[in-house]
Chain A
């Protein structure tokens, strides 16, 4: 799922300096799961912002609302009254949600309250790691289910590079595994190392022409 991280408090405070009534809008899907922007996090941020402005003797009214998925116009429409009440909105959704809100309420400044970082999964409680680069040309079948586009620091298709650290760690981070060592070990376990011996031609980096578009065959 999409992983995001709340922006630094100073940055968020700076966004709402000129306002006296702001809505903090959360999303109940990805950002809720990674503890960045769900209903709970909306409550906490709202409380913090009220306290912050109180300490500064510049009170602010913070409204709270959370929708199931902020990237769906239908669902966002449910909170239109609260948006109307506020002077500005801090959205804790991923970039997709922020932009949906901004598009639905064009007259209202909508600010991002989180930094959307990657598509990933929880390695353990509270730690999310990047897994997928949304490259539009998936070849995980050939790498034993390890994606080198985002898990290799250089995105190599014929890895590893010569910078692998001792023990199979990545050149840029001794705590990170070299993706190609992971691929090697995975394919070795499956007796399919021949896949790693294949030459992989340069990637089609235009498989998804940004901004991407997927049109379903039906509808």
Chain B
């Protein structure tokens, strides 16, 4: 297993982050090439094992991106995702991986800049984080 490969995995909710990522691309906004966008029907679809597997497959950081508070199309999907991301930080810390490498972001579909900022932020964190 080659961990902390350098690539970033972004689980993107199809109602918010995915269209935002799409817009960012079309607008020519710059963000690192090694971001792998994975489209999900809702941030709440992402479970702990998906986050852990992403790291097993070499991700240096994982983003879980969903709708803004109160705007989830599945009502509580983004809330559940938030709790799971928090818990996954604990699971990572248990194996000496910096919990800061996983984070939840909330955005609306017409916020491509927010998407780019999030991705750039996580890239910066992975460069700074030793572990």
Do A and B touch, yes or no (CB under 8 Å, in the complex)?
yes
Binding site for B on A (CB under 8 A): 9, 40, 43-44, 47-52, 54-55, 59
CA distance A44 to B95 in the complex (A): 12
Inside 8 A of A52's CB, which chain B residues have their CB? 94-96
CA distance A157 to B95 in the complex (A): 46
Inside 8 A of A54's CB, which chain B residues have their CB? 1, 3
Given known pairs A55-B3, A55-B131, the reply for A47 and B49 (CB within 8 Å) is yes
Given known pairs A43-B49, A44-B52, A55-B131, the reply for A50 and B91 (CB within 8 Å) is no
Residue-wise, chain B 43-70 has the 8 Å CB interface mask toward A (1 for contact) of 0000011001101100000000000000
Given known pairs A9-B94, A52-B96, A55-B95, the reply for A47 and B52 (CB within 8 Å) is yes
Smallest Cβ-Cβ distance to A47: which chain B residue: B52
Residue contact A48 to B94, C-beta cutoff 8 Å: yes
Residue contact A51 to B55, C-beta cutoff 8 Å: yes
Asked if B97 is at the interface of the complex by the 8 Å CB criterion, the answer is: yes
Residue contact A51 to B95, C-beta cutoff 8 Å: yes
CA distance A166 to B49 in the complex (A): 45
* Size of B's binding interface in residues, CB under 8 A: 15
Smallest Cβ-Cβ distance to B3: which chain A residue: A54
Inside 8 A of A43's CB, which chain B residues have their CB? 49
What would 7 more interface pairs be, CB under 8 Å, given A9-B95, A51-B1, A54-B3? Answer: A47-B49, A47-B52, A48-B95, A49-B95, A51-B56, A54-B1, A55-B95
Inside 8 A of A47's CB, which chain B residues have their CB? 49, 52-53, 55-56
Given known pairs A55-B3, A55-B131, the reply for A44 and B56 (CB within 8 Å) is no
CA distance A59 to B56 in the complex (A): 12
A-B contact pairs, 16 of them (CB 8 A): A9-B94, A40-B49, A43-B49, A44-B48, A47-B53, A48-B52, A48-B91, A50-B1, A51-B1, A51-B92, A52-B94, A52-B95, A52-B96, A54-B3, A55-B97, A55-B131
Binding site for A on B (CB under 8 A): 1, 3, 48-49, 52-53, 55-56, 91-92, 94-97, 131
Q: Which 7 A-B pairs have the closest CB atoms?
A: A52-B95, A47-B52, A9-B94, A54-B1, A54-B3, A51-B95, A43-B49
Label chain A's interface by main secondary structure.
helix
A56 CB, min distance to chain B CBs, angstroms:
8
Residue contact B48 to A51, C-beta cutoff 8 Å: no
B51 CB, min distance to chain A CBs, angstroms:
9
Smallest Cβ-Cβ distance to A12: which chain B residue: B94
A45 CB, min distance to chain B CBs, angstroms:
9
CA distance A24 to B55 in the complex (A): 19
The contact of A44 among B3, B91, B96, B131, by CB within 8 Å, is: B91
Residue contact A59 to B1, C-beta cutoff 8 Å: yes
Given known pairs A9-B94, A9-B95, A44-B91, the reply for A51 and B49 (CB within 8 Å) is no
Inside 8 A of B52's CB, which chain A residues have their CB? 44, 47-48, 51
B75 CB, min distance to chain A CBs, angstroms:
17
CA distance A214 to B63 in the complex (A): 53
Residue contact B56 to A55, C-beta cutoff 8 Å: no
Central interface residue in A40, A49, A51, A52, by most chain B CB within 10 Å = A51
Inside 8 A of B94's CB, which chain A residues have their CB? 9, 48, 52
